[in-house]
Amino acid sequence: MGNFLSGLLGGRQHKDEGLGLYKSWVGGQSRDLTVATEVEAGAAPHLLERKVDSRKAVEAAKRPLWQKRPPFYTEARERARQGDPRLEEISINVRILEQSLAEIQKADKTSKKELFKPLTDAEENEVYGCFTGGPSSKVLVLHEPSNIEITKEKFQCLRPRCWLNDEVINLYLELLKERETREPKKFLKCHFFNTFFYKKLAKNGYDYKSVKRWTTRRKLGYELIDCDKIFVPVHKDVHWCLAIINMKENTFQYLDSLGGMDHNVTNILARYITEEVKEKSSKAIDARLWREEIVDIPLQQNGWDCGMFMLKYIDFHSRGLSLDFSQVNMEYFRMRTAKEILRLRAD
């Protein structure tokens, strides 16, 4: 080994200098920021004296140790695309879909901001003023298209710890339908049955004839088969639930804010929509074969907010949004619903 180093050093350097050069050489392998100097000419050809190049050091400092690179498949796709024109078309379609997804996500964030927009001080004062004082028989609002009037007494159900009544629920559903008519591109095409529909349909087990005239094209301006979703409020003694008929995905949902399930409701609705489509649209479907979809939903944590949960299930679903709310939002939703009823306009 000594002879080897001596040969490399040309016999002109001290033995300790060989060890130093070796350490210098090894230390420069991890991150080479050096350039060769003239000393190399006098040293052995493989053990060179190095010094730091300041320009390379600055450039290295600017460059992060870890740098995000595009996914491997992107590079591979670009290489393959050069030899296949069909991949160019696919790539264009992918970019279009990515752009559309970004726009949808942006719109979704905007919609959710609208869903939790705080009331102004003036709006809160107006609502509180209708909760207190004055005769209970005073009519606060009259919705002429449906002939639903809300008296001060009926309006009280929107206060905390109160059960919602038919009048408030049905008026709010009318406002949701009017909202969709105003902005059809922003909301799904839906039908909102009132709180009396299911009770009449399920009377004596099943009675299609009693509700047959509720959904004529002349009355609605459309047929149920044309809808994205159909909402059916279900009242069980002292508890509100919601059934949804999804006409586009051929599914049923039963949403109970206490976590319950009633297959009898979906069976009755499957029978109804099968008969309804045949009667009004002259088309044969068998909704009894449709899937019953079980989904996670926000649940109530008390004994009085079932009606408000039901209304917000409808509100969010009619927007095509996930049910991103919880019990803590119910007090706000009561105030917001009260404001919208007083204005006869759902936002």
Catalytic residues: 239, 256, 306
- Write the DSSP string, 242-253: EEEEETTTTEEE
Report d(CA 129, CA 114) in Å as an integer.
Answer: 25
Q: Are 316 and 322 in contact (CB under 8 A)?
A: yes
Reported residue count of the chain is 347
Q: In what order do the strands lie in the sheet with 190-192?
A: 190-192, 229-236, 239-246, 251-255, 291-293
Over its C-alpha atoms, the chain yields an Rg (Å, rounded) of: 36
Q: How many CB atoms within 10 Å of residue 35?
A: 12
Closest CA to 255 of 281, 231, 272: 231
User: How many alpha carbons fall within 13 Å on the CB side of residue 141?
Assistant: 21
Report d(CA 132, CA 159) in Å as an integer.
Answer: 10
H/E element, 232: strand 229-236
Q: Pull the structure tokens for residue 85.
A: 């024109």
Report d(CA 61, CA 248) in Å as an integer.
Answer: 57
Residue 35 backbone phi and psi in degrees, to 5: -130, 160
Residue 234: strand, helix, or coil: strand
